[in-house]
Amino acid sequence: MTDKEIKNSNTSQNTQNTESALPIHETPRGNVMVIAEQILGELQPVTLELLGAGRLLTDKLGTKLVCLLLGHNMAETTKKLIQYGADIVYVADHPELHTYRTLPFRRVVCDFLESLSEPPHVTLLGSTTTGRDLAPRIAAHFETGLTADCTELDIGPYEHKSKIDPSKLGLYPDCLYAIRPSFGESLKARILGPWKNPQMATTRPGVMIPLRADPNRQGEIITVPVNLKPEDFRLNVAETVREIASALKLTEADVIISGGFGLGTPEGFALLRELASCFPNSAIGASRKVVDLGWIPYEHQVGQTGKTVRPKLYIACGISGAIQHRVGMSKSSTIIAINKDPDAPIFKFAHYGIVGDVYQIIPEMIKQLKCVEKEQGEKTIVHSH
């Protein structure tokens, strides 16, 4: 072996030894915390979904799942949070917390986190109007990382080898894997920020799966002090209008009839509404293209830049199945696609596909559904006699 080969060999060994000697950043395994969301005292479904996701993380960490609830007169809600998986519910009860306002909520959350002897390992919020407003303010206060609009969450080891910041080199055994779509939904990005706890993330409503409620489940309820300051009241809420949101309930519908550019005209949605009327708890969805064209309001949009839904039945009418739309509805229990184009991408992931004209197929579906409804009604009358 030449002198040059010996030198290269020694350099390689030294490099391997240096990498193998990377420090292990063992931080105390804190709890997983979910910040509950309520609107005028009504608990939002995304909170129960977050508890389901949080339980998976706590099982890996071996810690507790805690929930922070801000509101007023929320005693029944605390019981529900325990039934759905929370081990401890911290309650900040104050009349000024009945309606969401950024500064009072930020004050209470940050004061609470600072009062803990050990910060939560992970803190989760919903990727809703409230969550998107509150989460970054909390993250900025604690100078910690935040990943928005996650579709998956996990805990695992991460070895950081980048020498840009030598203080961060090493192995992080319990890193939050915050996973979300990127590059037009064509890739999944795994975003990591283990440098400081709490590691924060928001998740899209309708993506995570809540646990089944256990009425016999026991948990601890702890009151949190509320110390608001005059500067927290720079904004007053004059009125909260929920008529549009309550009428749509897109994310809560059992059946969604969705329309796309293949309908040809905005009038096609009238036919979809007639089909939707055949199902209880149904709603109308839409692809991004028809929303951009002004055929239907944005509140109906399903997809990456719209709502994420998980209905029992999703009927896609004249929708090609672009990745942007798919990410918002692919976890539906049953997907039926109706499209003239037999090569439309939506047929690759739909459970059932019908190749044909929506204006021929949907009227026949309506006819058959009404016949079934009529037969069931006649049987009910016979049995009542």
Using the Cα atoms of residue 92, residue 95, residue 100 and residue 102 in order, give the sign of their dihedral: negative
Angle, CA 308 vertex, CA 303 and CA 312 arms, to 5°: 115
Which two three-digit tokens encode residue 46?
Answer: 């995304």
CA-based nearest residue to 206, from 329, 382, 289: 329
Q: Where are the alpha helices (DSSP H) in 187-337?
A: 243-248, 268-276, 288-292, 323-329
Query: What residues are paired with 124 via a beta bridge?
Result: 34, 201
Report the relative pairing of strands 170-182 and 146-150 from DSSP bridges.
unpaired
Q: Write down all domains in the chain, each with its CATH number in brackets.
A: 32-160+169-233 (3.40.50.620), 244-384 (3.40.50.1220)
CA-based nearest residue to 303, from 337, 258, 350, 237: 258
* Phi, psi of 139, deg, nearest 5: -60, -40
Residues 6 or more apart whose CB falls under 8 angstroms from that of 11 comprise none
- H-helix or E-strand containing 195? none
pLDDT at 83: 96
Q: Which residue is listed with tokens 């030598």?
A: 166
Number of Cβ within a 10 Å radius of residue 21: 9
> CA-CA distances (angstroms) from residue 26 to 20, 116, 198?
16, 19, 14
The answer to pTM > 0.75 is no
Q: What is the C-alpha to C-alpha distance for residues 184 and 204, in angstroms, rounded to an integer?
A: 16
* Phi, psi of 167, deg, nearest 5: -70, -20
pLDDT at 300: 93
pLDDT tens digits, 294-322: 999 988 999 877 888 999 999 999 999 98
CA 148 to mean position of chain CA atoms: 9
Q: Which residue is listed with tokens 């915050």?
A: 178
Label residue 184 left, alpha or beta by phi (over 0 means left) and psi (-120 to 50 means alpha).
left
Which two three-digit tokens encode residue 59?
Answer: 């099982």
Q: What is the C-alpha to C-alpha distance for residues 148 and 282, in angstroms, rounded to an integer?
A: 29
Q: What is the C-alpha to C-alpha distance for residues 66 and 31, in angstroms, rounded to an integer?
A: 7
- Percent of the chain scored above 90 by pLDDT? 66
Q: What is the C-alpha to C-alpha distance for residues 138 and 143, in angstroms, rounded to an integer?
A: 8
pLDDT at 16: 44
> CA-CA distances (angstroms) from residue 132 to 108, 204, 270, 297, 342?
17, 10, 34, 22, 40
pLDDT at 67: 98
pLDDT at 252: 85
Q: How does pLDDT run along the chain (385 residues), one tens digit per residue?
A: 455 444 444 444 444 444 456 788 877 788 999 999 999 889 999 999 999 999 999 999 999 999 999 999 999 999 999 999 999 999 999 999 999 999 999 999 999 999 999 999 999 999 999 999 999 999 999 999 999 989 899 999 999 888 888 888 889 999 999 998 776 555 778 899 888 999 999 998 888 989 999 999 999 999 999 999 999 988 887 777 665 444 457 888 999 999 999 999 999 999 999 999 999 999 999 999 999 999 999 889 998 778 889 999 999 999 999 888 988 898 899 999 999 999 999 999 999 999 999 999 999 999 999 877 666 655 544 454 4
One-letter amino acid of 232: D
Neighbour-count burial for 93-120, b at 16+ CB within 10 Å, e otherwise = bbeebbbbbeebbbbbbeebbeeeeebb
pLDDT at 273: 94
pLDDT at 146: 95
